[in-house]
């Protein structure tokens, strides 16, 4: 890229990382993920002057495009999805010059011969970052094809999107196939939740503040609830969702990642393996999920956003007798000293009443309240970490209502990310792409972490997890989801 003028808004900030010269090879360059996430992320990194001085992108997909058509597709993705609008045409023009395209089928050896020639002709140096923004069934063919291309003089890394396998056996096979071409330290398994500012803030909140960590244990915490709710249905993703379902799409990765960050022990430092070691330790202490501790649901027709919406089986591309779950709820137990006896209730689903992802850490009630009859509106103290939308943290505690009588009500004290800092927070993919370019794997999952997560769900995948129960679109799931907490004398929070 041509050198851009300095950005005065960055003056006085800590020096940001800037990658070495590299070529970014984007498999699935004509796909939805590239359009919605990758193109805007690259553009915003260019705006922040965080791309290498020598940089090139090579898109690879089955569309019969040339360089100009690929640039047009990327431009449309930026105009539609970038957090910065309007698009700076000077920056876009400089980036567009570095966009190239190779057309071909992922299983065709000729595709990789053409790609190898294109890479050899680029002046961006010998460093290469391969990004697999394709459906999972193509991962094996692509990695094998990459293995036929002569390596450059510098590093080679591969970024693999979720879901990483369909179960433990397939994850192990995929790890084996990738390790035939890439060493483990060259593999970056991406989970975009870990790139979100509020998710990263969980560790800072816990380990940089001495008022919280002493009470972050079974002596003070009654329960933890993690909710990842979407108000939309499957939209145009039937071909993917029918083969995945809520367990593979959300529980095995996003939800367990949030649980690990909430439950892990403090690492000795923030080096990549120190953090990832602690996450794996948490996963290894979770009891394998049993059918009695899980609820699977599927939305039926109902109301969402004031409109009548179809049920899952009426969605385009879905089998009329589909047994795929669109929501999952589970009770997880972490068997270690810190969390013994504290239930972790987790749920994820589509066509819920609202879009929200949050972690709720609910504390034990005070052992004795001397105000009889004055605490009807007092809820247990809680710390609520909102991942999306309205990113921030809320502390809920009791306070006296003004007046002559003593009445106690729960009130909230809020930290809101968007109003507390003037800086425009980067999107998750911006952070993660930059980490992959600079070789920082902290926010990417390691092979043992992926396999351990799959092992926890081995007994409940698909129909082993129990029947798929209907719930009306616009509700919080079937009644059995409420029963999952009620049997412990608890209830789901309403976000």
92 vs 7 pLDDT, higher one: 92
Task: Output the pTM of the full model.
Answer: 0.90
- Other C-beta atoms within 10 Å of 267: how many? 17
Identify the band that residue 252 occupies on the pLDDT scale cut at 50, 70 and 90: very high
**Residues designated as active site:** 254
CA angle 412, 254, 351 (to 5 degrees): 75
SS3 call for 105? coil
Number of Cβ within a 10 Å radius of residue 249:
24
Instruction: Please give the residue that has the higher pLDDT: either 5 or 38.
Output: 38
**pLDDT tens digit sequence for 405-432:** 777 777 888 888 777 776 677 888 999 9
Domains of the chain: 8-161 (3.40.50.720), 194-486 (3.30.360.10)
Residues 434-459: tens digit of each pLDDT: 999 999 999 999 999 999 999 999 99
The residue with greater pLDDT, 306 or 418, is: 306
CA atoms lying within 13 Å on the CB side of residue 489: 3
Question: What's the CA gap between 160 and 411, in Å, rounded?
Answer: 43
Which residues have C-beta within 8 Å of that of residue 105, sequence separation ≥ 6?
62, 111
What pLDDT score does 125 carry? 67
Q: What is the pLDDT of residue 15?
A: 43
Residues 6+ apart with CB under 8 A from 35: 73, 74, 76, 77, 80, 81
Instruction: Identify the residue with better confidence: 17 or 144.
Output: 144
């Amino acid at each position: 890229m041509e050198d851009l003028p300095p950005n005065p808004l960055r003056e006085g900030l800590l020096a940001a990382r800037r990658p070495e010269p590299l070529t970014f090879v984007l498999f699935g360059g004509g796909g939805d993920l590239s359009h919605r996430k990758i193109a805007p992320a690259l553009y915003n990194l260019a705006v922040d002057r965080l791309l290498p001085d020598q940089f090139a992108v090579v898109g690879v997909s089955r569309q019969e495009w040339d360089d100009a058509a690929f640039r047009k597709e990327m431009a449309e993705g930026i105009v539609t999805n970038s957090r910065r609008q309007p698009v700076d045409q000077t920056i876009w023009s400089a980036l567009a010059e570095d966009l190239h395209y190779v057309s071909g089928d992922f299983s065709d050896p000729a595709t990789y011969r053409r790609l190898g020639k294109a890479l050899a002709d680029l002046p961006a140096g010998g460093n290469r970052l391969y990004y697999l923004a394709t459906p999972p069934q193509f991962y094996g063919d692509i990695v094998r094809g990459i293995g036929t291309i002569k390596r450059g003089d510098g590093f080679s890394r591969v970024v693999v999107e979720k879901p990483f396998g369909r179960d433990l056996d397939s994850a192990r096979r995929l790890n084996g196939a990738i390790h035939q071409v890439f060493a483990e330290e060259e593999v970056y398994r991406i989970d975009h939740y870990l790139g979100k500012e509020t998710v990263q803030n969980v560790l800072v909140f816990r380990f940089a503040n001495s008022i919280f960590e002493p009470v972050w244990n079974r002596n003070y915490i009654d329960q933890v609830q993690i909710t990842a709710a979407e108000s939309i249905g499957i939209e145009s993703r039937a071909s993917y969702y029918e083969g995945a379902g809520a367990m593979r799409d959300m529980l095995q990765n996003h939800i367990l990642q949030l649980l690990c960050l909430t439950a892990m022990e403090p690492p000795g430092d923030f080096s990549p393996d120190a953090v990832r070691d602690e996450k794996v330790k948490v996963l290894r202490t979770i009891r394998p999920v049993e059918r009695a501790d899980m609820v699977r649901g599927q939305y039926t027709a109902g109301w969402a956003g004031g409109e009548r919406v179809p049920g899952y089986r009426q969605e385009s591309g879905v089998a009329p007798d589909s047994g795929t779950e669109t929501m999952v709820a589970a009770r997880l137990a972490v068997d270690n000293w810190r969390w013994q006896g504290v239930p972790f209730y987790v749920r994820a689903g589509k066509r819920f009443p609202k879009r929200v992802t949050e972690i709720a850490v609910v504390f034990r009630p005070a052992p004795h309240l001397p105000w009889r009859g004055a605490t009807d509106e007092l809820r247990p103290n809680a710390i609520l970490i909102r991942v999306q939308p309205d990113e921030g943290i809320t502390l809920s505690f009791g306070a006296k209502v003004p007046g002559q009588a003593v009445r106690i009500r729960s009130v909230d004290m809020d930290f809101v990310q968007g109003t507390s800092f003037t800086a425009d927070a980067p999107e998750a993919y911006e952070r993660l792409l930059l980490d992959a370019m600079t070789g920082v794997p902290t926010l990417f999952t390691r092979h043992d972490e992926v396999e351990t997560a799959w092992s926890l769900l081995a007994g409940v995948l698909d129909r082993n997890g129990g029947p798929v129960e209907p719930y009306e679109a616009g509700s919080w799931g079937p009644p059995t989801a409420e029963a999952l907490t009620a049997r412990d004398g608890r209830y789901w929070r309403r976000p």
